[in-house]
Each structure stands twice: as structure tokens, then as C-alpha cells.
Structure 1
Amino acid sequence: MTTPPEPVVGERRHLLNLAYRLLGSLAEAEDAVQETYARWYALTPAQRAAISSPGAWLTTVAGRVCLDVLGSARARREQYVGEWLPEPVPEQPDSVADRITLDESVTMAFLVTLEAMTPAQRVALVLHDVFGYAFAEVAEITGRTPAACRELASSARRRVRA
């Protein structure tokens, strides 16, 4: 008899969408989601049981993993001479839900604009404006105050408009 999969497995698509929108690379997004799940399964069963909202926990960890990747990616690109462009999402949806998700994907121009932002601005904008998180939740994920997150998102919006 097999045990049913844990509810956190159902969060994978959401986490992948979040990570892709933050990182602009499907491969890096998949790595970030894998790292997020590795941290989840590294917890003891008692620690996992103590988490009241596994989805929120996973989103928080994924956001922080992406912030780490963005910080190291920015440092790597400082040594790269060419122009960085995010890779497009493959256009092969597995289901209607995937097709809808792909249709709602961020355009290449928006991804290029995101690249011009600081990692904190990018996370604040994507979590709040794209995924609809409240600034209090964004603050919890980024380790900043809600006011600082509002300012980060505001300056990110100014970059998008420019």
C-alpha cells in the first residue's frame, strides 16, 4: 500500500511560476523549486506538522532561494561581456491549465525590464503585482518591512513605466 502524496506536492506549479517570473530562466526556476522541496523534506515530520500553512512556507522559501540566486546571478553577469536575456518558456503545454498559465506568462520585454531591477525590487513587484500577495506577506518573505516592500514595488513600477 502506498501513501498518498503530501499536499505540498500540489504547490509545484505555483512555485515554478513564481520562480520563473523572478529568475527568467526555466532551468534556474526548476532548480529553485527543487531546492525549496529539498528544504521541506529536510525538516523532520514534527517540524513539517508544526507548519500551519505549508503552501505559504514553500512560497516564502522559494522567494528567498530566488533572492539568493538573483544575487549570485548578478555577480556572475558582472563578469559576462554580452547582453543577458531571459529564456522563453517552452510552448508545449501539458494540459489546459498549463496552456492558460503559459498564456499568462510574462512577456520577454517585461522580463528584460525585470532584469534591470534589483533582486528585492523584482521580488516585491512580482509577489505583489503578479501573484497578489499583500505587502505584509511580501515583507515576511523578504525579511523587510511592509513599508520598504511598498517602496520597492513602487520604484519597480517606475522602472516598468520608463
Structure 2
Amino acid sequence: MADTQPTTQPGPSAAAPLSGLAMKRRGPVAVWLGLPIITFGIYQLVWYYKIHKELNEYDRRQNLSPAGSLLVLLFLGWTLIAPLISFHNTGKAIANAQRAAGLQVTCSPAASTWLAFAFGINVWYMQRELNRVTEAYPGATPGAQVPLAA
């Protein structure tokens, strides 16, 4: 019966500092306008997949599905509401990444959603906010281990 008592001692992972993989810095204008024009819109889908994958690797506490997010845009884009919800959730994930980097949260999920109606400038906005996270780790190469503040 004594074996069933819960222990209050922290496990080995409780003292370990949180860390994740650094994200890639991208040019917001290139992501929003340049590369999608050159690739007839395909790059925007690739970018959306990549940022979700990078956000997931940066902070594993976020449960993001890069493929699921991409499939929402591909197969449910015609519904209009599904991509807006996906953009909102992406804005929340970016805000959480800013928080994890120890930055003041400047990414608004609402702006990530509604700027889609202004010539798709939400892509520029989201990439600009992601770049703030990468700037919190000067000199870190994409994929390098970086500490999380929160």
C-alpha cells in the first residue's frame, strides 16, 4: 500500500532548461509578394508549411501540425472561414513563440486573420513577427539549439 503513494520529488526533466531549434529569418516582402509571383502562388503554401514546422521545432510545447495547416489551405480554402481560423491560430502560435523567446508579444492573432483581406498582407505581417523571434537570438543559425525564456 505504501508503494501507491505519489511522490513529490521533481523528475529529471524538471530542472532541465527549455530549449528549441532556431528558426530561419526570411524577407517579409519576398515571402508576401516576390516569391509567390515567381512561383505562381506555390511558394506561399511551402512557406506556410515551413513556418509551422519551424514553430513546432522551436517550442515543442506547441502542438502544431504543419501538414494539417497546409491541408486546410489546400482543401478548405474555398470555405473562406477555415483559412481565417488557420491564420488566427498561426498568429497565436507566433505570439506564443515571441513569449517563449522572452520578447514582448506584438503579434496579434486578429491582425493575422483580417489582414488577409488587404491583398494578403497577413503573410508579410506574420513573417515580420516571426523575424522578431529570430532576432532575439543573434548569430544563431537555423536549426541550432537555442534556449527558451518562458
How high is the TM-score relative to the length of structure 1? 0.30
Greater helix fraction, Structure 1 or Structure 2:
1
Larger Rg: 2
Q: Structure 2 length as normaliser, TM-score?
A: 0.31
